């Protein structure tokens, strides 16, 4: 597209002519001329009627006047001119300006709930709240530089000051059916109500097979709960599959637009001390309390090559516990989808693996952004070693590995 600078106005306003001035122009003279936008309509341009553009010979930019009102003419918008080049014809003493319109910008994607809030708060650097040197007796960072949260490695004050500004809403999902609900659900909810994210808005998502199993609790401030019933066609002998299918379904339908971070826990756990914002992250994995202190070569990964959960010998980072997992709702949804894909894949081949092995394969391929130490899920049947100084969450039932 071309724009011609003439010495005299050649068109009226209604024909798309625009007056322009070139101060300190060619040979020091100041000239008035006409900017004629050629082929405007065929190229998607609309004529601009109003005070002139200002430009200087040799410049690579154009300044647009803010006012576009002209008496007797409708108010219209003008396309932005960019990449301006100026050439001078010494013989004719005329200026020829070549320009191209800026490409149209695609509309920005709609921000998630967490992104909208985080944009108003400066991001927190890892070094601002995490000090691994305070715990030289344990592993405090992974080889992909993700922090491993132990008591003493984090500054609760710094984290509180940061996250208070974000006005967060947090979610905690628990699945409890049959005998597990009767035996553990009330104790889990009472301890979570007291110790989980105190001072923040928390929504408890309780998935049960019948409403009659819900305990009567007095919820603390900023606490609310929602109850989801398990699908009727669920198989009682495959608890993890039923749990993950229900969780994924409710993340899509309800949860993803309600909370900034979501955690999923087993009902056999009990909070013993405060679990706060130190556990927040886009993708959070729990280190297995038993296998953390064992030789990596003995980790019970899935080793059958045909299985979707397979991690070959000599590979793998840590062994993760499926009792406590968290992150953004979309990250948990991704975990659920990959787990269900793996189950379907193995069933077609006549294979059967465990939820925890699929979980470990998922985090082997998609490294978590934050890891929780065994302090956040210690088996109550074992006396904690010296490294576990402060048990935050205890596992009440003996579990099969």
Give the active site residues: 356
Q: Per DSSP, which regions of 31-183 are E strands? A: 31-37, 81-89, 94-101, 148-149, 169-176
| Whole-Å CA distances, 263 to 11, 98, 269, 323, 336 | 68, 58, 13, 10, 13
Sequence-ordered alpha helix ranges (H) in 14-124: 113-118
Nearest by Cα to 57 from 94, 91, 8, 7 = 94
Nearest by Cα to 325 from 271, 374, 266, 278 = 266
Q: CA 373, 375, 377: angle at the middle one, nearest 5?
A: 95
In sequence order, the 6+-apart residues with CB closer than 8 A to the CB of 288 are 318, 319, 320, 321, 374, 377
Compute the distance between CA of residue 83 and CA of residue 29 in angstroms, rounded to an integer: 24
In sequence order, the 6+-apart residues with CB closer than 8 A to the CB of 221 are none
Compute the distance between CA of residue 51 and CA of residue 93 in angstroms, rounded to an integer: 24
């Amino acid at each position: 597209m071309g724009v011609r600078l003439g010495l005299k106005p050649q068109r009226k306003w209604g024909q798309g002519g625009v007056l322009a001035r070139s101060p300190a122009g060619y040979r020091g003279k100041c000239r008035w001329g006409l900017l004629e936008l050629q082929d405007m309509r065929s190229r998607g341009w609309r004529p601009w009627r109003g005070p002139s553009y200002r430009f200087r010979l040799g410049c690579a930019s154009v300044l647009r006047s803010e006012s576009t009102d002209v008496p007797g003419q409708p108010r219209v918008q003008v396309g932005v001119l960019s990449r301006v080049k100026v050439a001078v014809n010494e013989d004719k003493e005329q200026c020829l300006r070549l320009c191209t319109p800026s490409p149209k910008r695609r509309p920005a994607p709609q921000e998630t709930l967490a992104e909208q809030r985080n944009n108003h708060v400066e991001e927190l650097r890892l070094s601002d709240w995490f000090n691994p040197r305070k715990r030289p007796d344990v592993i405090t960072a992974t080889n992909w530089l993700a922090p491993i949260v132990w008591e003493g490695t984090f500054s609760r004050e710094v984290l509180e000051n940061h996250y208070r500004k974000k006005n967060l809403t947090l979610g905690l999902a628990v699945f409890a059916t049959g005998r597990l609900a009767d035996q553990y659900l009330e104790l889990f909810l009472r301890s979570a109500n007291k110790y989980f994210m105190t001072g923040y808005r928390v929504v408890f998502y309780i998935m049960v097979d019948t409403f009659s199993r819900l305990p009567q609790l007095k919820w603390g401030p900023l606490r609310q709960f929602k109850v989801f019933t398990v699908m009727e066609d669920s198989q009682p002998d495959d608890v993890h599959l039923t749990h993950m299918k229900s969780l994924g379904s409710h993340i899509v339908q309800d949860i993803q637009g309600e909370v900034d971070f979501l955690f999923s826990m087993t009902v056999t756990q009990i909070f013993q001390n405060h679990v706060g914002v130190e556990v927040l992250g886009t993708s959070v994995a729990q280190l297995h309390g038993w296998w953390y202190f064992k030789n990596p070569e003995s980790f019970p990964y899935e080793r059958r090559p045909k299985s979707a959960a397979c991690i070959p010998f000599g590979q793998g980072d840590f062994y993760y516990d499926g009792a406590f997992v968290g992150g953004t709702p979309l990250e948990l949804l991704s975990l659920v989808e990959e787990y269900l894909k793996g189950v379907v894949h193995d069933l077609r081949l006549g294979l059967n693996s465990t939820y925890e092995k699929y979980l470990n394969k998922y985090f082997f391929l998609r490294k978590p952004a934050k890891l929780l130490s065994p302090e956040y899920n210690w088996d109550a049947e074992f006396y904690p070693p010296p490294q576990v100084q402060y048990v935050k969450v205890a596992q009440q039932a003996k579990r099969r590995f």
